[in-house]
Structure formats: C-alpha cells, structure tokens
Amino acid sequence: MLELKNIKYRAGAFQLGIIELMIERGEYFVLLGPTGSGKSLTLNLIAGFIELESGSINIHGNCVNKQPPEKRRIALVTQNVDLFPHLNVKDNILYSVRAKKNLVDEIAKRLNISQLFERKPSSLSGGEAQRVAIARALMCEPEILLLDEPLGSLDPSTRREIRNLLSEINEIKRTTFIHVTHDFEEAAALADRIGILFNGKLKQVGRVEEIFSTPVDAETAMFIGHRNVLHGKMANIDGEQFFQVENVKFEISQNEYCGNAVYTVNPNSIIVSVERMNSSARNSLKGRIINIEEAPSAVYVQIDVGVKLTSMITKKSAAELKIEVNKELWVTIKSTALHRI
C-alpha cells in the first residue's frame, strides 16, 4: 500500500498540497487533471527525484522520505521514452539490471517485443518504443509502476493497444500502477479509482462511475466531460420545489435546498425521442436540435428546450431518429439524474 500524508511542495507561485491519499497494493490508480495541475510533480515526489518540503510517503507502512529512488522499488515510464540510442532493444531492457534470462523472456513475450531485440531505438515505431520502455521498467520488478502520460504521443490505434496492454499487465502482475493523464476517456478505461487534481489540490477520489455521476464541483464536471452544467435557483411553486434555469423548471429528487444552485446532468441520462414518452420520469421537455457532434462511438445532440442540453446517443439511435439540425425532439430526464454540486 502507498500512502501520501500531508504532502506539500512549493515551486515558485505553485503549491502542491495533497492532504491524504491511500492507494492499495495492486490497484490501478489514475491521477487525472489538466496540464500544470501538479500530476507529474506528484510522481516525481513519489519516486524520490524531488525531496518533500513536508509530509510523508509511506510504502507498506514504512516512511521512504529519506530513501533514494533506487531503494524504493519504484519504476517510472514517461511519454518521452528516453531509450539509449546506441544500445539495441535487448540491451536497453537489461541496462543496469541483473536479470534472469527467464524474466527477460517472459516480459518480452508478454509485450510482444522478442523480435525487436537486435534493433536500435531509431528504427522503432512510437508504440514499439513505448513497449520497450515498459519492459525496461518491469525488469526491476517494481512494487509500484509510475506512468507519466505514457500514451500521450501515440496515435489513437496504438494508444488503445498500449492501454489494453497496461491493463493486462496490471491484472496479471498485480503491481500497483499510478498513471497520470489529462484524458478522461483514458482514465475511465484503465482506472480502479481516479483522483482529480486541480491547481495542486486533490479535489475528489473515487471509482470511475462515482466521479462521473457525482462530480464534486462545476470545474470538475466540465473537465470530465459533463456538457450539462446548469446554473439556476430553487423555486417554490404551490408548495413544490423545483430547480429553475431561466424559464425552465426541473423537478428534482431532493428539495431541502433554497437559493442559487448548480446541477449537472450526465448526457447518458438524457433520453431523446420524436414523440413524448409515456414514462415515470418527471421531466419531459420539447426542444429543437441546434448542434450535432459525432464521436467515435456515439453522437452528441445538443437541444434547446429553453436551456441548452446535450444528450449522448448511439449512432444506431441517431440513424433511427433521423436527427438533423432544427428537428424537434422530446427530452426526458429522471429527477434522480439531476445532481447538485
């Protein structure tokens, strides 16, 4: 288990402050945040490349603050793979490691790089070079593998390939992985849990579905792809409380709050249809399509119902609905789908 306790580090005007974070042995933990939020700095502190100002880093209950990087049983893989250009692939993997032949063969087979052993780094593709870098990191049999934007420079196809490989290695080896990225899709595909880091502050930690369905604030919601962040106020009509945005009223499942409020709605939770649905859902609104955005596996449809709402639907549903800009559709939202932040 890795425990970060009251970590603080200042670099100029920037300050990293992680009060407490515990990562279980064998967990795939993803630190997610925008550029400049302190993600890479956190990895460098864990690895021991930078000395803490205050706080402690504990591995299996032992404080490693004073231990040099080579004593921590931690390996780091970065976006820039930094292979030695004068060594072939096999010598790069074996560099500074006294390894058993069967371990070399096992890792090379797992990463499908045995056939690359005699080649130099300059002849490798981006995906091949990243596989070699991962192999080199695994050769020291680390207890913790740190991954600093390892997929950032790869094309989409290779990124998916390496992503699947990392997940497989974590599952088989049960090594603790701490993976840094600014890409929520990447984080969602890999993580057991996600930590949201903004401006040096750890805002939220939880499982993927928890982070996505109940973001802690509007900044987090927007960053992870919530396209529906609604600013409004609570309104009382005939003894019933609603959340009101401009002239649109939404029924909600909790009504104990008064005053201004911010709610989010997951695009997956907004159902669109040509006719009004016969449903128990308490919010049914008619609107007009104002924008259509195609993603690799879905379609985002923005509809003006008095406020702008975005629904995510399958490509099959988009074809069946014959969606087009200016077409009228009904929007259906359960009261429980609105989350106050």
Q: What is the pLDDT of residues 259-312, one digit of tens each?
A: 899 999 989 899 999 999 998 888 999 999 999 999 888 999 999 999 999 999
Compute the distance between CA of residue 22 and CA of residue 58 in angstroms, rounded to an integer.
9
Q: Give the torsion sign (CA, 60, 62, 63, 66).
A: negative
Q: Is the pLDDT of residue 102 over 70?
A: no
Structure confidence at residue 258 (pLDDT): 75
Structure confidence at residue 96 (pLDDT): 59
Q: Which residues contact 160 (CB under 8 A, 6 or more apart)?
A: none
Per DSSP, the chain holds a count of helices (H) and strands (E) of 9, 20
Task: For residue 237, count CB atoms less than 10 angstroms from its CB and return exposed for 0-12, middle for 13-18, buried for 19 or more.
Answer: exposed
CA 235 to each of CA 217, 240, 284: distance values in angstroms, whole numbers, following the listed order = 21, 8, 18
Structure confidence at residue 157 (pLDDT): 84
Closest CA to 59 of 50, 47, 51, 49: 47
Read off the pLDDT of each residue in 179-184 and give the average, rounded to a whole number.
94
- The SS3 assignment for 138 reads helix
CATH fold group of domain 229-340 = OB fold (Dihydrolipoamide Acetyltransferase, E2P) (2.40.50)
**Residue whose token pair is 């502190």:** 45
Closest CA to 243 of 309, 253, 252, 339: 252
**Residue whose token pair is 């950032």:** 152
Q: Give the torsion sign (CA, 62, 55, 201, 12).
A: negative
- The SS3 assignment for 4 reads strand
Q: What is the pLDDT of residues 307-338, one digit of tens each?
A: 999 999 999 999 999 999 999 999 999 999 99
Read off the pLDDT of each residue in 5-30 and give the average, rounded to a whole number.
92
Sequence letter at residue 279: S
Structure confidence at residue 90 (pLDDT): 80
Closest CA to 176 of 40, 51, 324, 74: 74
Structure tokens at 88: 């072939």
Structure confidence at residue 97 (pLDDT): 63
Compute the distance between CA of residue 226 and CA of residue 265 in angstroms, rounded to an integer.
7
Structure confidence at residue 93 (pLDDT): 76
Q: Is the pLDDT of residue 182 over 60?
A: yes
- Mean residue pLDDT of the chain comes to 89
* 60 band by pLDDT with thresholds 50, 70 and 90: very high
Sequence letter at residue 244: Q
CATH fold group of domain 2-223 = Rossmann fold (3.40.50)
Where does the chain hold its CATH 2.40.50.100 domain(s)?
229-340
Q: Is the pLDDT of residue 232 over 90?
A: yes
Task: For residue 183, count CB atoms less than 10 angstroms from its CB and return exposed for 0-12, middle for 13-18, buried for 19 or more.
Answer: middle
Q: DSSP letter at 35? A: T
Compute the distance between CA of residue 316 and CA of residue 326 in angstroms, rounded to an integer.
20
Beta bridge partners of 14: 11
Compute the distance between CA of residue 236 and CA of residue 243 in angstroms, rounded to an integer.
9
Q: DSSP letter at 12? A: T
Structure confidence at residue 101 (pLDDT): 58
Instruction: Quote the pTM value.
Output: 0.83
Read off the pLDDT of each residue in 77-81 and give the average, rounded to a whole number.
79
Read off the pLDDT of each residue in 2-23 and give the average, rounded to a whole number.
92
Pairing status of strand 229-237 against strand 201-206:
unpaired
Where does the chain hold its CATH 3.40.50.300 domain(s)?
2-223
Compute the distance between CA of residue 336 and CA of residue 341 in angstroms, rounded to an integer.
14
Closest CA to 231 of 215, 248, 216, 251: 248
Q: What is the pLDDT of residues 143-173, one digit of tens each?
A: 999 999 988 878 888 888 888 889 988 998 8
Read off the pLDDT of each residue in 27-31 and give the average, rounded to a whole number.
97
